[in-house]
Structures are given as structure tokens and as C-alpha cells.
Structure 1
Amino acid sequence: MSRPLAEASATADREPEHKLQAGAISAAGAVVMAVAGSAPAYSIAATTAALVAAAGLASPAALLWCGLPMIGIAWAFSYLGKADVNAGAAYSWVGRALHPALGFLCGWALVVSATIFMVAGSLPAGAMTLALFSPENSGNVALATGIGAVWFLVMVACVMLGAQLTARAQWIMSTIEVLILVVFALIAIVKASTGAHAGPSFSWDWFAFNHFQGMGGFVAAALIAAFYYWGWDVSANLSEETDNAHKSSGLGGILGVVIVFLLFEVFTIGINVMMTGDQIAANSDNVLGALGEVIWPGLGGKILIIAVMLSTIATLETTLIQVTRSLFAMGRDKTLPAAFGRAHKKWQTPAFATAIVALVSLVLFIGSNFLGSVGDILSDAISSIGLQIAFYYCLAALAVVVAYRKLIFKSWKNFIFIGLWPGLGAVFMGWIFVVSIPELGPVVVSIGLGTLALGLIPMFIYWRKGSPYFKRIPLNVS
């Protein structure tokens, strides 16, 4: 498949201050980043109670029917990345394939969702640290916020100091996390097969639709499931820093989604089987730690808390990468202040963007103390982020169909992986976005849509200033 005839600013000659550290991430590193971005241990620990509350025994079905479209969207990212290597990823692709306004809002959706997540992610990092060393204080929001802020600042330093350091940190944290999860998954399977479980026996019926509380129940569960998967696309935002990026970044995203899909399904089934509904609800802020106690009393909970803590810290780092690289691309295109688009001369990272994100996030940490318990904050944040995820994933999947429209029917492979699968992913995410709005509470909708609408202000300002991004260089391939 040939390269596009016209390349956008992503592949054009750039001034030195607009360049990131090329080749810092290997092909295997792209897979590690994608897995770390979805944060399997954190997602299971922080989100399972919300998913079970929405779907009950149909939780595995929610993950399945959201996971299949998500793999299609990963294919979309892969093909779009072949045509345009850009740290802004969907921001650039949607802007060129569909319309610059939609592309800008895609980039903005990622920026605000990632910023909201800084609170949703840092609080559990602090809470898990307290659960290990001071269990009696694990529900103290102020203390958890403070410790979470320290972890966050450590990740800020890693992201600031270069992609190679970031990659090394991810290899260590994610490898330990996934190994712990695999070992506990095997133990849980053995124990469940011998009848040592408190919940119902496994049934293939859990993958069907009959356990959902109507269409509203499915929509609520699917929005939560989207949050589970979110983050794998960090491999796309790292494309300018990845070796052989035209191939490696996209493949890393696809493999990352498949790996976390398997982990999510195994542990969600395990939680359904090994724990009662009351146990799940009572441990809503750390279901995984409670599962560890059930699987391996005394020590299992502590080990899985370590996995959750590593996962949370790792995903803070990948989320920082996503938001800072998106801001870098937007600053480089002058759709935001140009300072965001400059890279540090020595570290070759978007240092200004990283510093601003860190400052805003610390302010949000302080404000989060007035929002309620850790569980309350997580619940509202997960649903609001889910709206924004559905929005920009939908547009990115649609972008590949439009960009590659002349090639879709040239082979069965193209039809399935460029047309049908991403197209179904776009329809699914768009449907979830529209249908879920009336079902969500006013707080969630105001956070999810309100922060997205704020992006219209800088968009109109820089459109009027004549940013070349809004002139749109089409992303057509031949």
C-alpha cells in the first residue's frame, strides 16, 4: 500500500524545537505501552464494582461486546498511522480525513479526558499505597490525594526526562503487573474448577444479552467497558518516537487491546465466580485486592494491591504521554499556543506541555478533596471520561473508512480491516455516545460534555488567527 500523495505537517520538515526523540520506543515497547495504557489491574480494581452494578452477571458480555468494536478501532488506528505518523494521532487523522473542527475536538476530548483521569488515577495510587502500608487510612481522601500527587510528580519527571526512560519504567512496572495477574488468574481457575467459590458457577450465558437490565442497562455497562479499554492508543501518540512507526505503533495497539481483553474477561469472570454481590459492592474501590484475599488469604490481597499500585502508576505515565503529545501536536500546528509545540533541546520531550498539565492536575487534586469519597469521585469520572472516549474513538474509526474509501473494496482484507470492522466500531461508539446522554446524571453529563464544549473557545480563536491546520491537507491514500 503506497504512502499518501500529500503529507501533512506530521511528516514535513520541522524545525529542531518541533522534534521528539525518534526511535526511542521499540516495536515490543509499543505493545508494552498499549497494555500499560489500558492499565489492566487498575481498571479491574477500580471499575469492576461499577460494571457489576450496571450489568450484574452480564459483565463479561459488556466487555466482549465493547471489546470487539474496540479491536476494530485499533485496526483503524493502525491504518491511519501508516498514512500519517503524528503525535496528535486522532487529532491529525480526523482533521485531515473528515474536518479540522472535528479533528480539533478529538484532540481536545483526549486532553480533557486525560486531565480528568489524573485525579481518577492518582487517588487510587495513593489509596493503594495506604492499603499496603497503612490500611486504616486507605479511605482518607486527603491523605490518598497527597500520596497520589507524589506518585504523579514522579511520573511527570519520567515523562519530562525522555521517552527512553519512560519506556524502561514501563517495562519494569507492566511486566511485574501482568505476571502477577497471570499467576492469580491461573490460581482462580484452578480453585473455581474444584468448587471453591462463593459466587455462582460459570455459565456461557454470561456472554449473552439476557442478564442486562434492558437497553439502558447495556448502554450504561458499555460506557463503563469503554473506560476499561481506554488508553491502548498511547502507542499512536508515541508514533513519532517509535522505531519503524508506520508499522510498529499500530501493531502495538492491536496486540495491546487483545491482551487486555483477555485479562479483563478472565478476571471479571473470576470475580463473578469467587465473590458474592455484597462482597463486590463492599469493596468497590479495590475489588481486585478483595479477590486476592479470597484466592490466597493473608498474602493474596497484598500481592494484588502491589499489581494495582504498579498499574495505576504506569497508566498515570501513559496518560501523561497522551495528553502532552496531543498538546505538543496542537501547539506545533498553532491550534493552541505555540509554546506547547516546542520540545526540550536535551530531553526532546514536550516540556512546557508537561509542566502545564502537571500544574493543572495538582490544582484538580486539591479540588477533589471537596467532591466526596474515592469511590464517588471514581464513579463520576469513569462515566464522564467514557462519553469523551466514545466521541473521539467514533470519529477516528470513521476517519479510516473515509481516508481509505478507494481501497476498501480492492480485497477482502481491506473490506474487513479497513471498512467493515472499523465502521462497526464507529457506529457502536457513536450509538453509545448518543444513547447514554439521557441515561446519565447531570453531574456526569456536565463534566463529560461541558469540558468537551470548552474546546470550542480555543478552536474558534485559533481558526480566526489563521492556523494552517484549519486549511486541511486531505488524508487520501492511493
Structure 2
Amino acid sequence: MSYSGRGLQANVLGVFDTVVMAVAGSAPAYSIAATTAVLTGAVGVAGPAALLYCAVPMLGIALAFSYLSRIDVNAGASYSWVGRTLHPFLGFVSGWALVVSATLFMVAGSLPAGSMTLALFDADLAGNTALSTVVGAAWFLVMLGVVLGGARLTVRAQLLMSGVELVILVLFAVLALLHADSARPFDWSWFGLGQFDGVSGFASGALVAAFYFWGWDVTSNLSEETRDSRRTTGLAGLIGVGIVFLLFEVFTIAVNVVLSARQIEDNEANVLTVLGEEVWPGWGGKVLVVAVMLSTVATLETTLIQVTRSLFAMGRDRTMPAALGRVHRTWNTPWVAIAVVGAVALVLLVASNALGSVGDILSDAVSAIGLQISVYYGLAGLAVVVAYRRTLLKSPAHFLFGGLWPLCGALFMFWIFVESLGELSPASIAIGLGGLAAGLVPMLWYWRKGSDYYRPARLDASLTVPADSVPQVPATAHSRVHEGLPTDF
């Protein structure tokens, strides 16, 4: 490939910045508030078990991202890795799955941002879908401007929002543990497989759990803007998964103990607020509303980064309109991709008003996004095994962390995808599979136009220099990376 346009701004983010982005990408407060009711509806009190058994294969996928980022620095992440190991068509599907799921999340995330903001002033306004849409759109536009302003501005905003969010969550985790009154006593069986309604019930819970964790991989989409990215992005993703797993487990257990099934069902879009009121009457609900609002806005920002960096990589490769690969001369951000995503997301956000309440929209969107997440995570898990196939037997660590664990994670993701199809609502299936199918149009169009992406150099870890001896790849060097030339510049 002979792309000669401007690249993204290199060496902007450090290790701490990238860990913050990984945690913010999974949006702990938002995920707990928006998804706990969906998880409870799928598996009852077995939410802790669903999160635990999904965390193990998710760590395998995080290991896959870590190993792949060592040998291919690319803002498209799995889009590039899968295309260069399995097949370009599968690579495009992987990238497209991220683009569609992230765009859907603009709706699923903007609505709660609006409703949580309104709840700070009047709890009755929080359920007004139309007003929540207006306020959510305003937040979305603010984050769009921050992302357009560059990686430095993005991470500064993220440090503020996620820092306050995490302090509040830790405070309420302690308060929940000290809370005397309970709807039901703690039970270790919540971590057992016996609580699930058969195999299909477990798969439904795992699909929702996958949505909880989704977002930590934003670190890989920021690889071209990160210092020592071959080591940093993967490490930050692993740390991020560990941190959010602990938060998810603590709060899911707290919801089981403190809230009744009726309270969860009646407050499906703001379970965390009700939990706050129970453990700290008067102020608790409002303080946690602040945490959820900040978390939602923060993850809107990280999701915008993921989708716009993916579209930037696609535009650069000419698998999508080349204009998407343009970078702003001052801010070094993919401004065309940002503008396109912003326009599409706002249209979908307004259109979502016709679909029902905030809770209804969240439920269908979460399940649909879960299907798409399982596709691109699963493909990345397979890609690392192919990329490292010649080195897996060199040591037990290589075999376990670069092969077996990611492979098991990939198989788990594909399994929950298939099993969940029989359990999800027609709306969720239509959104999830329809969104993926829509990608066939640009894929076939640009394949016939002869994009070099569809004639890739194979990605082979045995032909690259070990990660600790490879310097940072400059943004302008991606043509050589895509041509399969050695990366020891």
C-alpha cells in the first residue's frame, strides 16, 4: 500500500493514560446501571457467576490483543490483525462489527447520559425519552468536540471524569458492604453453574456479561498515538479488564443483596441510583447519578475513539471511502470520520425516540451489541494463534498465553453467539445480524475496486523482532507495515 497522507499524532499517551482509557472504555458505573437489570432478567441472581465465567475467556481475548499489538501497530486493531492472518473478508467483518456496535452504543449511551443528567434535577424527568434524547445529544456533541481536539485533550478529560467516577464507586462499594438491611442474604451459589436455566440460559447471561467488559480494547485503537505501544496497549488492556471485573462483581453482589427483584425490574435503567438510595438515604442516589453520568459521558468519548480510529484505518486502506483516512492538520485527528460518525449517530439517536422507553431501547441495544462484540473478539482470538503458530511451542508461557487461552476465549465467544440466537428478541437479532450484514455492501464494492487490503502480506510473529527490541513505529511508516516489510526501522 502506498498511503502518503498525514498520520495520527504519535507518542501522546503514556502507560497511566492508557490504563485510564481502558477502564473508561468499559464504563464501570454505566455498565452496572444500564445492564444489571438486563443481566438479572437473563440469569436472575446468577449475575456474579455470568461475570466470572465471562471474565476468564475475556482475559484470553485481552491476551490476544496484547500479543497481536506487539507485531502490528495499527489504529484498526482487529480489523488489521484478522485481515492479515485469517482472511481480508473476515478482517473487514471484524472492523465493521466494531463500527456498527460502537455506533449503536452512541444511542445506548447518549440516552442514559441525558436521563442521568435530568435525574440530578428532577427524578420524574429522567424517564422522558424525548427530553433525555435532547440532553444526551448535547453531551454527545461535547464529546465529539473533545475527540476532535486530539488525544491529549481526550485523555485530560478522561482523567477528570473517570477519576471522580472511580472514587465514588469505591466509596459506595464500601458502603454496600457495611449495609445492614438486605433483600436476601449473600449466597456462594450465585457463583455456581447450577443457577442458570440450562445451557441457553448461561449463554444469554454470558452475552450480556460480554457487553459489561466491552471497551477496554480502545487501547489498541490508540496504538498509533501511544508511547512504546507494542508493550503499553496490551498491558493496559489486561489491567483494565482486571479492575472493571472487580468493580462489576462487587456491585452485582451488592444489587443481589440489597435490592429486591421488584426494585430491579421497576428501575431497569437506573438500578445503581436505587442502590445508592438504599445504602445512603437522601444523598446516595444523587451521588451515584453523578458517577453514572460521568461514566456514560466518558465511555461515549472512548467509543468515539474506537469507531473513528477504525474508520480512519479503513479509509487509509481504501476499504471504505478514502476521505475517512484524512487527518486534521492542526489536531492530528481523523476529522472526516469523526464528522460522519457524529452525523449518523445523531440521526439514529433521534430515530430511537420512536422505539419506546429508555429501558426498552437499552435492552435491545445491549443484546445486539453483545452479538457483534462476540464476533470481533472471537476473530481476534483466532488471529493470534495463526500469527504465533510457529512460536507457540517455544515455551509453556507462549503456548498458554499466546495460544491456548486466547483460542479458548475465541471459541467461547463464538459459542455464546450461536447459543444466544435462540434466546434473544427478534428486535435484538435483527439489529445485531442486520448491522453485520450491511457491511457486505462496502466490503464487496471496495474488493472489486482492488483495494490493496485484499492482497495482504501475512502477519507472522516468527518474522518480527521481539517486542522489547522494536522501536515505536512512526505514524508515517504504516505503508511498510502493510506491505509486510520488517518492522525494525
1:135 aligned onto 2:135: no
CA-to-partner distance for each residue in 1:31-68, whole Å, 9 max, x for gaps?
10010000000000000011011111111000000111
Q: Which runs of 5+ in 2 are unaligned?
A: 463-489
Inter-partner Cα distance in structure 2 for 1:309 and 1:442: 30
Corresponding position of 2:367: 383
Deviation, structure 1 residue 26 = 1.0
Corresponding position of 2:95: 107
Give the 5 Å matches for 1:247-396. Answer: 247-396=231-380
Amino acid at match of 1:260: V
1:171 aligned onto 2:155: no
CA-to-partner distance for each residue in 1:142-197, whole Å, 9 max, x for gaps?
00000000000000000001000000000110111011101110111122xxxx13
Deviation, structure 1 residue 202 = 1.3
Corresponding position of 2:472: none
Q: Are the counterparts in 2 of residues 197 and 275 from structure 1 also a CA contact under 8 Å?
A: no
Q: Are the counterparts in 2 of residues 388 and 448 from structure 1 also a CA contact under 8 Å?
A: yes
Amino acid at match of 1:82: R
Deviation, structure 1 residue 198 = 2.4
Q: Are the counterparts in 1 of residues 204 and 419 from structure 2 also a CA contact under 8 Å?
A: no
Match for residue 187 of structure 2 among 203, 207, 218? 203
Inter-partner Cα distance in structure 2 for 1:282 and 1:456: 40
1:64 aligned onto 2:48: no
Inter-partner Cα distance in structure 1 for 2:322 and 2:5: 14
1:15 aligned onto 2:8: no
Corresponding position of 2:147: 159
CA-to-partner distance for each residue in 1:50-109, whole Å, 9 max, x for gaps?
101111111100000011100110010000000001000000000001000000000000
Corresponding position of 1:220: 204
Q: Are the counterparts in 2 of residues 226 and 386 from structure 1 also a CA contact under 8 Å?
A: yes
Alpha-carbon RMSD:
0.9
Q: TM-score, normalised by structure 1?
A: 0.96
1:133 alignment partner, SS class: coil
Deviation, structure 1 residue 135 = 1.8
1:474 alignment partner, SS class: coil
Runs (4+) of structure 1 exceeding 6 A deviation are none
Deviation, structure 1 residue 16 = 4.3
Match for residue 119 of structure 1 among 107, 132, 138? 107
Q: Are the counterparts in 1 of residues 25 and 215 from structure 2 also a CA contact under 8 Å?
A: yes
Inter-partner Cα distance in structure 1 for 2:308 and 2:358: 26
Inter-partner Cα distance in structure 2 for 1:266 and 1:189: 9
CA-to-partner distance for each residue in 1:196-221, whole Å, 9 max, x for gaps?
13222212221111111111211111
Deviation, structure 1 residue 14 = 5.4
Inter-partner Cα distance in structure 2 for 1:16 and 1:116: 29
2:127 alignment partner, SS class: coil
Q: Report the CA distance shift for 1:112/1:265 in structure 2 as closer, same or farther (over 3 A).
A: same
2:458 alignment partner, SS class: coil
Amino acid at match of 1:142: A
2:193 alignment partner, SS class: coil
Inter-partner Cα distance in structure 2 for 1:442 and 1:141: 22
CA-to-partner distance for each residue in 1:218-244, whole Å, 9 max, x for gaps?
111111000000011000000000111
Corresponding position of 2:414: 430
Corresponding position of 2:42: 54
Q: TM-score, normalised by structure 2?
A: 0.93
Give the total of aligned pairs.
462
Deviation, structure 1 residue 458 = 0.4
Amino acid at match of 2:241: V
Q: Are the counterparts in 2 of residues 202 and 273 from structure 1 also a CA contact under 8 Å?
A: yes
Inter-partner Cα distance in structure 1 for 2:434 and 2:277: 40
Corresponding position of 1:4: none
Q: Are the counterparts in 1 of residues 74 and 80 from structure 2 also a CA contact under 8 Å?
A: yes
Deviation, structure 1 residue 360 = 0.5
Inter-partner Cα distance in structure 2 for 1:451 and 1:314: 25
Deviation, structure 1 residue 15 = 2.5
Inter-partner Cα distance in structure 2 for 1:200 and 1:423: 38
Q: Are the counterparts in 1 of residues 210 and 370 from structure 2 also a CA contact under 8 Å?
A: yes
Corresponding position of 2:63: 75
Match for residue 389 of structure 2 among 405, 423, 429? 405
Match for residue 34 of structure 1 among 15, 19, 22? 22
Amino acid at match of 1:302: K
CA-to-partner distance for each residue in 1:283-312, whole Å, 9 max, x for gaps?
110000100000100001100000000000
Inter-partner Cα distance in structure 2 for 1:295 and 1:328: 45
Amino acid at match of 1:474: R
Inter-partner Cα distance in structure 1 for 2:393 and 2:182: 51
Inter-partner Cα distance in structure 2 for 1:199 and 1:70: 31
Corresponding position of 1:95: 83
Inter-partner Cα distance in structure 1 for 2:317 and 2:4: 12
Q: Are the counterparts in 2 of residues 160 and 349 from structure 1 also a CA contact under 8 Å?
A: yes
Inter-partner Cα distance in structure 1 for 2:42 and 2:300: 26
CA-to-partner distance for each residue in 1:349-397, whole Å, 9 max, x for gaps?
0000000000011111110110000000000000000000001100001
Q: Are the counterparts in 2 of residues 38 and 232 from structure 1 also a CA contact under 8 Å?
A: yes
Q: Are the counterparts in 1 of residues 107 and 352 from structure 2 also a CA contact under 8 Å?
A: yes
